[in-house]
Amino acid sequence: MAISTESRFFGLDLNQLKADVLKTWRRAPQWPPLSWLRPAQMLRLVPAEGTPAVVWESGEPVAKPGREPAFWAVELPEHMVLRKTVALPALDPQDCASAAELEVQAISPFAADDLLWGYTELSRSSKAVKLLVVLASRAQTEPYLQAQVAQQLHLQTLKGGSKAESLEQPEVWVFAPERRPVVFQGFGEQARYALGRKRLWWNVGGVALAALLLAAIAATPTAQLRLRAIEAVHAYEGIAAKTADVVAKRETLIQSADKVAGLSELLSERIDGVQVLSMLTNVLPDDTALQSARIQGSKVTISGLTENASALMQKLSNQDGVKDVRAPSAATRIGGGNKENFTIELGLDAKVFGPKSVIEAESGAKPESAPPAVAESAVQGAAPAVPATTPSGASPGAPFAAAPKASVGGGKPGPSLGGTKSGPSLGGSRPPSPPPSAESGGAKP
């Protein structure tokens, strides 16, 4: 089984691809945008007729040469040169060189070791390339070149030049139409080509270095920001590790504060029943008997008997912290009496009638003294009597909380609902107090 040595990948010849890439890169310095990377070089040209002059490698004369050229060339007389124009397809410059060499071998009248030749492009189009091929005999040109070299060495010596050895290997030129030089191969042109390639690579290296510096300058701010961000992250992680306990305590404190705030919000909406009953006790007139009082949130519903329900509603409306006073049903009179049966609903402000804290209680005003009857009961150790039955019109289970000053039945007027003796009782007569003992230290108040 034969082993294939062809370098192919999916039908593509890799060797040919490599050759095409190299050809393209060799032609890159000739492109107009990149031609400045390979600057033209100066030569001292010794023409066949006339005085030597400094020219560019393209053959154009230099107006004001600033320095002595490092290379020089000798022009061959026309009688020593054979010329031929060759038309070829549109080939690459490297392929044109191979085609010119084949053409020279085919038409040369000189022996292989006696042949000197060169070529240049006269014109190029998308379909064809026209070349000028020149031939000469080494045996005929060497005496002429040696004479020119000896003459130039003599002139260089007279001028005191220290680099006369550079003139020992000149380039050999002839000129095509439009003063275009044709260089014969095998003389001093290789040194000039090598220097041109060296300068090209130096320029390419300088451009690449400048591009890298520009990229570094452009990337420096971004790199600095990234390094600062990384440093900040590391610093934050370090601080977070050091303050983990403090942060945990802070979270616990925040949660406790949230709970306290929620509890405060709930407490701010509560109504203190004791304050409500105290307010009703102070506000209700003596001709009013309260039968029931119900507290639901910030709403209080009271019902009872009074002589003027409208005046009572007006009086309640003028109290601090009382709002939205209204009567859900019309007041009615009982029999031929002068009392009106009323039901009144009123809203209370939690800031006024809400529960007071211990600090607020201690910093507040001195509490009012208890009524005399209550004080008397406290001294004698007797509690106010509670009626066995619920008054008519009161809701079962509702707190009978107020101690109004008006009486319903007969007897001496006083803040009782059904008793005969004045005092803060809710119903029934108060049992007689026992005689004061000797330990009480005084007479009955």
pLDDT tens digits for range 95-139? 888 999 999 999 999 998 999 999 999 898 888 999 999 999 999
Q: 13: which strand partners?
A: 8
Which three-class secondary structure state does DSSP give residue 132?
strand
Q: What is the mean pLDDT of residues 225-229?
A: 94
Tell me the percentage of the chain whose pLDDT exceeds 70: 71
Q: How confident is the model at residue 226 (pLDDT cuts 50, 70, 90)?
A: very high
State how far the Cα of 8 lies from the Cα of 11, in Å rounded to an integer. 6
Rg (CA), the chain: 63
Residue 135, strand partner residues: 82, 117
Strand ordering across the sheet containing 128-137: 82-89, 128-137, 115-124
Structure confidence at residue 137 (pLDDT): 93
d(CA 151, CA 145): 10
The answer to whether the beta carbons of residues 417 and 443 sit under 8 Å apart is no
DSSP summary character for residue 75: E
Closest CA to 144 of 109, 166, 173, 165: 173
For 65, phi then psi, to 5°, come to -65, 130
Structure confidence at residue 188 (pLDDT):
86
Q: Would the CA dihedral through 85, 90, 94, 98 be positive or negative? A: negative
Pairing of strands 12-13, 8-9: antiparallel
Q: How many CA atoms lie within 13 A of 245 on its CB side?
A: 1
Query: pLDDT by residue (tens digit) across 30-68?
Result: 666 666 777 788 888 999 888 888 888 888 888 888 788
**Tally of residues, the chain:** 445
How many other C-beta atoms lie within 10 A of the C-beta of residue 439? 5
